[in-house]
Amino acid sequence: MNMSAAIKAYSNVAIESKAHSSDPHKLILMLYQGALLSIASAKNQMMRNEIAAKGKSISQAISIINDGLKAGLDLRVGGPLAQNLSDLYDYMSQRLLVANMKNDTAILDEVSTLLLELRGAWESIRPAADQRPQQANKPQQPSVKTPLVYGRM
């Protein structure tokens, strides 16, 4: 196994381990970050004219958006907000396909901006348990979890 393959294998295991140990809120943040990183990679690959790598990165971003973020939506619980997010994810996926076909970095920037705004909004609604400082030797009160747009929290 060459060094590059070893580093990639380690990275995949580290990401998978982190995903299994994260709470649902952090998992969504990880999905946003993964999509943003894939789009950034695609942009760099596009500028270096690395066609196959660009296509793979864009496909990965689309997969994260569709199979992660969109698939995690609970349309029954989330109502109109979840439906609007679903529609926005569809829009982003379509724009990424166009960016791939036209080698358009401006479209990649557009989708990145949308994802950054959504990630910022998601960060701002971090569960209350994560926002208050932990006090030593004080028993934890069970937190009341409000159903959010994504799955069961």
The interaxial angle of helices 75-102 and 51-63, nearest 10 deg, is: 170
- Could you tell me which of 52, 31, 29 has the C-alpha nearest to residue 41? 52
Per-residue b/e over 15-51, b at no fewer than 16 CB within 10 Å?
A: eeeeeeeeeebebbebbbebbbebbebbbebbeeeee
- Could you tell me which of 38, 31, 33 has the C-alpha nearest to residue 99? 38
| CA–CA dist 108, 148 (Å, integer) | 28
Q: Label residue 125 by pLDDT band (50, 70, 90).
A: confident
Residue ranges per structural domain of the chain: 21-124
| Superfamily of structural domain 21-124 | Flagellar protein FliS (1.20.120.340)
Residue 1 is predicted with a pLDDT of 47
151 pLDDT higher than 70: no
Per residue in 45-104, pLDDT (tens digit) is 999 999 999 999 999 999 999 999 999 999 999 999 999 999 999 999 999 999 999 999
